[in-house]
């Protein structure tokens, strides 16, 4: 523990003078409110557009923005197969197909759910700041003309499908906590219910017009609360209720294919540029800034995690470098549209340190988070959301706000409140869902099925035939 505390002190030394460093930054050209063909995910409610008349000029679609958003949607979709490889390499060989199947089947399940009712609940007309109504059920009214609230220069369906890719990967993240032991049929039902009752409401709170967290003033550019905290804390509830793997901390459960895991991490890094830079909803200055800070933070975390591991364990590992990169991607996500390069560097360094500490601490709490979803996504998303409250600057994005180090300590409190609300809601609803499913369907396979592996017991297949 002494070595971990040394690492924390090193980070504190870096953060200590941050207020002076960034507070002295002079106003310059920066990146102001997005101009023609450039906007960000909504921060405050847009004014109601005037009624359309025959003389009104219809919204103009920008082909460059549209091309960027469709490309970004494809990049975000690629992240889910990347996640499948990242997780698949970390489990034992007898569970590799079952683990990959979790991510792959979610692409199908959530795509259908999103088109039928998920998008309407998340982004449809507001009901009390809590949820969207079902007026957009089955994409009714979601056409090829722009919706000024969500993308003034791209077809509404382009925004819809881009957001659908976020909805796909979020429940896939949770599967790392219950890998190697959950019933496949129960997993399918859980995924559908969780997306409807957890993801869609939180997405509306944070990003939907009228959502209460959005109106409260919290900043989340690309999903720190919506994606990472919601999945990370839900993973904690799942790990507790599903229980530990048979033989946990007695049998060797080392990753069976680290090259697969590193390949998956590299694909995640690549796809994440669509995740963060695409959240500008346009091609321009803001998307460029988000792209740059995403890479900087990820690189920093890919260094800081194995460095702390080196201090703590005596050697850096390839798994540590890959995990650090993912932690950096997670942490920069909420801040990517609001911070500059040097804050991004600090956010990445902090992510590698804090997430490593969270991962090695799980044994003290006694839960079996198989692939460290809580430590990477829960802790990383929380750090990123809070760091947004420290480093956000209107010089980067006029549609955002200044953080603590730019003279506005109130934003940090707003960010903290949004974090707490997301943690509580996600944990409680996930816990209740899993309890009900345990009573009705059962959560985990029996001992014999777990011993033989999920590939055989759930899918009658094996990952390798030599």
Split at pLDDT 50, 70, 90, the class of 221 is: very high
Q: Measured on CA atoms in the order 307, 309, 311, 313, is the torsion positive or negative?
A: negative
Q: Please state at what angle helix 156-174 crosses helix 230-242, rounded to 10 degrees.
A: 30
Split at pLDDT 50, 70, 90, the class of 8 is: very low
Give residue 56's pLDDT: 57
The two three-digit tokens of residue 351, written as one number: 């992510």
DSSP labels, 221-273? SS-IIIIIIHHHHHHHHHHHHH-PPTTTTTS----S-HHHHHHHHHHHHHHHH
Query: Among residues 188, 222, 198, 174, which one has the least CA distance to residue 122?
Result: 198
Average per-residue pLDDT for the chain: 90
Cβ-proximal residues to 383 (8 Å cutoff; 6+ apart), any chain: 331, 347, 350, 351, 354, 355
- Measured CA to CA, the distance from residue 23 to residue 267 in angstroms comes to 36
Q: ∠ CA 200-230-234 to the nearest 5 degrees?
A: 110
SS3 label, residue 6: helix
Give residue 57's pLDDT: 63
What mean pLDDT comes out for the span 448-452?
A: 96
- Measured CA to CA, the distance from residue 459 to residue 131 in angstroms comes to 37
- Of residues 364 and 204, the one with the higher pLDDT is 204
Give residue 466's pLDDT: 78
- Per residue in 18-31, pLDDT (tens digit) is 443 444 344 333 34
- Measured CA to CA, the distance from residue 72 to residue 421 in angstroms comes to 29
What CATH fold (topology level) applies to the domain 59-459? Ammonium transporter fold (1.10.3430)
| Segments making up each domain of the chain, as ranges | 59-459
How many residues does this entry show for the chain? 466
Phi, then psi, of 70 in degrees rounded to 5: -70, -40
- Per residue in 89-123, pLDDT (tens digit) is 999 999 999 999 999 999 999 999 999 999 999 99
- Prediction pTM value: 0.89
Proportion of the chain above pLDDT 90, given as a percent: 85
Split at pLDDT 50, 70, 90, the class of 180 is: very high
- Per residue in 249-289, pLDDT (tens digit) is 899 999 999 999 999 999 999 999 999 999 999 999 999 99
Residue 37 has pLDDT above 60, yes or no: no
Pairing type for strands 126-127 and 131-132 reads antiparallel
């Amino acid at each position: 523990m002494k070595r971990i505390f040394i690492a924390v002190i090193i980070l504190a030394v870096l953060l200590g003078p941050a207020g002076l460093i960034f507070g002295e930054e002079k106003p310059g050209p920066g990146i102001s409110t997005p101009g023609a063909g450039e906007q960000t995910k909504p921060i405050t409610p847009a004014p109601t557009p005037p009624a359309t008349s025959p003389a009104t000029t219809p919204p103009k679609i920008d082909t460059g923005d549209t091309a960027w958003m469709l490309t970004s949607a494809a990049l975000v979709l690629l992240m889910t197969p990347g996640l499948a490889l990242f997780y698949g390499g970390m489990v034992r060989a007898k569970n590799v197909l079952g683990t990959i199947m979790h991510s792959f089947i979610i692409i199908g399940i959530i795509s259908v759910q999103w088109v039928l009712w998920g998008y309407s609940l998340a982004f449809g007309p507001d009901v009390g700041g809590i949820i969207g109504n079902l007026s957009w059920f089955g994409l009714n009214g979601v056409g090829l003309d722009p919706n000024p609230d969500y993308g003034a220069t791209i077809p509404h369906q382009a925004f819809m499908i881009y957001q659908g890719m976020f909805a796909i990967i979020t429940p896939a993240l949770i599967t790392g906590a219950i890998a190697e032991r959950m019933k496949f049929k129960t997993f399918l039902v859980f995924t559908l219910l969780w997306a409807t009752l957890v993801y869609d409401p939180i997405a509306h709170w944070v990003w939907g017009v009228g959502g209460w967290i959005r109106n409260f003033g919290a900043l989340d550019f690309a999903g720190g609360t919506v994606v990472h905290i919601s999945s990370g804390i839900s993973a904690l509830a799942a790990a507790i209720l599903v229980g530990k793997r048979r033989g946990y901390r007695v049998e060797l459960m080392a990753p069976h294919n680290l090259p697969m895991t590193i390949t998956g991490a590299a694909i995640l890094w690549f796809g994440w540029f669509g995740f963060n830079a695409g959240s500008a909803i346009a091609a321009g200055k803001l998307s460029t800034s988000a792209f740059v800070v995403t890479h900087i933070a990820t690189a920093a975390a890919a260094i800081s995690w194995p460095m702390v591991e080196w201090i703590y364990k005596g050697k850096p590992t390839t798994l540590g470098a890959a995990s650090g990169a993912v932690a950096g991607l997670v942490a920069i996500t909420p801040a990517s549209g609001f911070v500059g390069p040097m804050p991004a560097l600090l956010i990445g360094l902090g992510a590698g340190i804090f997430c490593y500490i969270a991962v090695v601490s799980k044994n003290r709490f006694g839960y079996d988070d198989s692939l460290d979803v809580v430590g990477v996504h829960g802790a990383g998303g929380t750090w990123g959301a809070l760091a947004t409250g420290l480093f956000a600057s209107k010089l980067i994005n006029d549609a955002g706000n200044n953080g603590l180090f730019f003279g506005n300590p109130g934003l940090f409190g707003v960010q903290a409140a949004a974090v707490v609300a997301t943690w509580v809601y996600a944990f409680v609803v996930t816990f209740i869902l899993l309890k009900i499913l345990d009573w009705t369907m059962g959560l985990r396979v029996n001992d014999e099925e777990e011993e033989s592996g999920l590939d055989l017991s759930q899918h009658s297949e094996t990952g390798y035939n030599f």
